Chain A
Amino acid sequence: MAKKSFSAAAGLISLTILLASAGPLAAEEALHRVWAVKDCRLIVPGKPALDKATVVIRDGLVEAAGQNIAVPADAEVIDGAKLTLHPGLIDALGQSLLKLPEEKFDPAKFYSGEFTDKDRGITPELKAFDYVALGKATLEKYYKLGLLAAQVIPSKGVFTGQASFFSLSSEDKNKALVLKDNWLGLGYSPASFMVYPNSLMGVVALLRQEFADASHFGLSASRWSKELKGLSRPAYNSRHESLLDYAAGQKPVVFFCNNQHDILRSLDLAAELGLDALICDLGSEAFKVIPELKKAKARVLCTVAFKAPPSSLQSQLGKTEKEKAEKEVYPKNPVRLAEAGIPFAFSSLGTDDPKSFMEGVEKAVEAGLSRDKALEALTVTPAAFLGLDKALGTIEPGKIANLVLVEGDALAKEPKVKTVFADGLKFEFKDAKAKEGEKPTVNVSGRWELNMPEAGLKVTVDFTQEDSGLSGKMTTPFGAFDFTGGNVSGNEIYFEMNISVGGQDIDLYFSGTVTGDNMRGTAVQGTQGSTEFTGKRNPS
């Protein structure tokens, strides 16, 4: 047992180290390097596309962008011909980078009655920053979709915690951080039951009382600091201290709204309590309250799961009506907001990962949202909501160089991202795809031994080839993994899989050439690097 786990760990370490070091560029090397993307199609939301444009990147920022830009002598040139360059996409509010410790409710609390503020869902001191994990493989997934910045927020309970915003250029969250504790989350779902508040009406009442308490704490503390005599000293309260700026409307709060009624509640509460509020439309029902949103000059964070909330009429009428609405009505939410001129940014809350997030955005596009509007909701609008419109969202001199170089159009379905710049650091995807279209001249079905000497790793692969289709399973010291895709064209084979090692998900792409019972090729791990492999068919 011990020996086995040791070899598995060793295998993992050598694989990741090798892939990383064999990568095109480590981030540190790229620092202060100068790049010029030449002859690309430049897309900035709200402006006409520019063909044959050049963008110069220096020290993490955009130095110049447009047509007829001279390439500086010290710049490394990237050929952008036939490629599109657009601003890095922003996930305005999400959770897939948040790794909160798993909590188990202790039933003994029922009997002791000793509930904490956390049990009551009052955790304004909870800071997303402290729980964000930016693994290489995770960043990879974002890059692949052109997502280069993300805001992270805890969303459980009533006072859910504070957000942080990251530009995804480094595994070191201290380097990636752009804004810390910038928004406060407010939710309508009680954190647990048997403890106040355990109902929606209780939650609303609590929101009022807590903000009033925080304001009073702030007032008493500032009075006392000015006038030490004649006033009783207020007791310190870290919870109320965390709420002070939000209670005063100096920092934005974001209401997590499960349905249209939550949106109206939030607009009313924001007006009543003087909060600077954003609406996070978890129920995709903002389209039902457009006049009210307009009147309040609301900013909306559109989620893209497009599930009809249980309170909706369609859900009350049964499964058929609900599913119909989720297909035909709810995905139109962003379209309706765009038509009404209500500013909105896309949020990944309610989707599982960046991939399903971008699939959700695509759903909105299929429901009629223009790609330009969609791009706006992933770039300039979230930047504006964050107060970062001078730094992010477009491609202009002086702005952070978060750029995506992609084949075809911006926000195409299944985008083929070639290269991204995050904070001016270059991450390039290796092309791993096999050729397609040729009739297979080989059949690889059967068991093979693959050897990756640079990674010090030997694996077994069982191939099943049916015409040009290729499926199979790779058995490694750290588990067996099924292919997620594969094909054979001529004597070239291609297969891919997602392996899970040490809590990390890694996408691997293999391409190679087959000669009889031998094969030789390259295994690629996104922008992280590649390694050579050789393979031999098992004689047995």
Chain B
Amino acid sequence: MTKHRLVAVLIGLFLGAGVGLFGAPPAERTLLLKNGHVLPIAGESFDGDILIVGTRIAKLGKDLTAGPGVEVIDLKGQWVMPGIIDSHSHIALEGGVNEMGELITAEVDVLDIINPEDLNIYYALTGGVTSIHTMHGSANPIGGRGVVLKLRWGGSAEDLIFKGAPLTSKWALGENPKQSNTIGLGKARYPKTRMGVEEAIRLEFERAKDYMTQWADYDRRAKAARKQKNAALPLPPKKDYRREAVADILRGKLWVRCHAYQAEEMASIMRLCKEYGVKLAAFEHGLEGYRVTNELVENKVAVTTFADFWAYKWEAYNTLPHAAALMAKRGVLVAINSDDAERMRHLFLDAAKTVRFGGLSELEALKTITLNPAVLMGIDKSTGTLEAGKDADIAVFNRHPLDPYTVCQMTIVDGKVLFDRAKYLEDRRKAEEAKKKAAETPAPKDKKG
């Protein structure tokens, strides 16, 4: 029953509010949020207002005034923070999140499989999430490309893409790529050791370098041929999308996001990336990251991890409840992620655990789900804090966002209110009533035309 009610409401929301929101270029709409308890993350918290012009924050401060025609929302002292950023997610994709058929699948691209109608996008908004890094799974040492999305619910796949955010290359080390947990399900796939996983990556780098050389050589000969009259152009090398993608990693066009658990393989892969000049942005999960904090800081590699989720497989045992806090205190850029459509809706509670378990300050804890993921995703210039000039990505809570009893009340993306709990509950009530009414009145008989 409850599910059906939700159904009607959500359809109403989608058809009523969603469709058409992103069809036309946004006009310079002005929205004033009044009387909030603002946690800007950048700078001191204050009681006051936020003025939004178009899709961006124009001004923060006390007693901001609205001109005529300006929409005003009175927050009545509720807590306001930057929209939450989930740096590790698999939502909004379709057709499978793992390409397991081959070891290296750098050519696959989640940009090809975005599903803008995944309901989990809307559910994420109900937990204050406004941006995510969505990617495929961890079946391959070098998998495919991942992408940063802004949760513009109601828009097309194209609308969801966070313009200007660097594309990523998803890697994986350890048990998953060496298929430790699928023994007996088929022919054993190379590699079966952690050494082999790293070697597979190195081998792919060398192949990509050869490929780049081939093309450079062709370009040189083609250029020479073009200068000569009547000279035939040389036969171009075969285009290989896999090599192209790995070449893009070597060229630094893709930021590497590497799934890893164990300290020694993290240390080892940092050396490999340094050797080839690859931009390693972050380790995913990184449960043993607290053992290699010096190396992480030295190589400027972030860790995006869980608050208290471990021991689900052998390589995920050796961690601590305060691992995230320990790393943060040692200067590692740390983000708390969900890796899950459900956990995604209460990332603020997971961030709070870094205070409880590891003694992080409230500000540092909030950074693990706002500014820190924004930095490691390369989008901190436009989101992650509440500052004039940044995107108006805002989450509103009825209590402090780290309070265990807090509930997200409103989520604003690019200045548009895409989730409003009060309105949602009201719509749900109306839908229930309408359904009840429909059940009471007998349906008119169909007339055949």
Contact = CB atoms under 8 A, between A and B. Distances in A.
Interface string A212-223: 110010011001
Interface residues of B, number: 45
A312 B117 contact: yes
B96 A200 contact: yes
Interface string B94-124: 1111111110010111101111111100000
Given A198-B99, A201-B95, A321 B7 contact: yes
A321 B238 CA distance: 49
Contacts of B10: 313, 317
A264 interface: yes
A111 B186 contact: yes
B157 interface: yes
B99 A197 contact: yes
A199 B119 contact: no
A346 interface: no
B239 interface: yes
A123 to B, nearest CB: 16
Given A110-B185, A200-B94, A200-B96, A320 B101 contact: no
A489 to B, nearest CB: 26
Given A317-B7, A317-B11, A321-B11, A195 B101 contact: yes
B276 interface: no
| A202, A216, A314, A317 interface centre (most CB from chain B within 10 Å) | A202
B144 A318 contact: no
B136 A201 contact: yes
B218 interface: no
Interface stretch (A71-79, A203-211, A416-424): A203-211
A205 B241 contact: yes
A261 B238 contact: no
B113 A204 contact: yes
Contacts of B109: 201, 204-205
Nearest to B238: A216
B4 interface: yes
Contact of A261 (B3, B94, B136): B94
B205 interface: no
Nearest to A259: B94
Contacts of A435: none
Interface residues of A, number: 42
B119 A316 contact: yes
| B105, B136, B236, B238 interface centre (most CB from chain A within 10 Å) | B238
A320 B4 contact: yes
| A120, A201, A223 interface centre (most CB from chain B within 10 Å) | A201
B11 A313 contact: yes
Contacts of B437: none
B404 to A, nearest CB: 30
B102 A113 contact: no
Contact of B157 (A195, A204, A261, A321): A261
Interface in A197-255: 197-205, 208-209, 212-213, 216, 219-220, 223, 227, 231
Contacts of B118: 316
B94 A196 contact: no
B98 A199 contact: yes
B105 A205 contact: yes
A386 B110 CA distance: 34
A33 to B, nearest CB: 42
A198 B187 contact: no
Given A110-B185, A313-B14, A213 B238 contact: yes
A223 B156 CA distance: 43
B240 interface: yes
Interface string B402-445: 00000000000000000000000000000000000000000000
B49 to A, nearest CB: 36
B108 A205 contact: yes
Contacts of A205: 99, 105, 107-109, 112, 144, 241
B186 A110 contact: yes
Contact of B101 (A110, A188, A194): A194
B235 interface: yes
Contacts of A198: 96, 99-101
B96 A201 contact: yes
Contacts of B96: 190, 198-202
A112 interface: yes
Given A201-B109, A261-B94, A223 B235 contact: yes
A212 B101 contact: no
A441 interface: no
Nearest to A188: B95
Contacts of A439: none
A449 to B, nearest CB: 44
Interface string A106-131: 00001111000000100000000000
A31 B218 CA distance: 62
Nearest to B10: A317
B4 A318 contact: yes
Contacts of A220: 235
A265 interface: yes
Contacts of B8: 321
A318 B108 contact: no
A200 B95 contact: yes
14 contacts: A194-B100, A196-B101, A198-B100, A200-B95, A202-B96, A202-B101, A205-B99, A205-B112, A219-B236, A261-B114, A261-B116, A312-B117, A316-B118, A317-B7
Given A195-B101, A212-B241, 12 more contacts: A112-B187, A200-B112, A201-B109, A202-B96, A209-B107, A231-B235, A311-B117, A316-B118, A317-B10, A317-B11, A317-B119, A320-B7
Interface of B: 3-4, 6-8, 10-11, 14, 94-102, 105, 107-110, 112-119, 136, 144, 156-157, 185-187, 232, 235-236, 238-242
Top 4 A-B pairs, shortest CB-CB distance: A200-B95, A196-B101, A113-B187, A199-B96
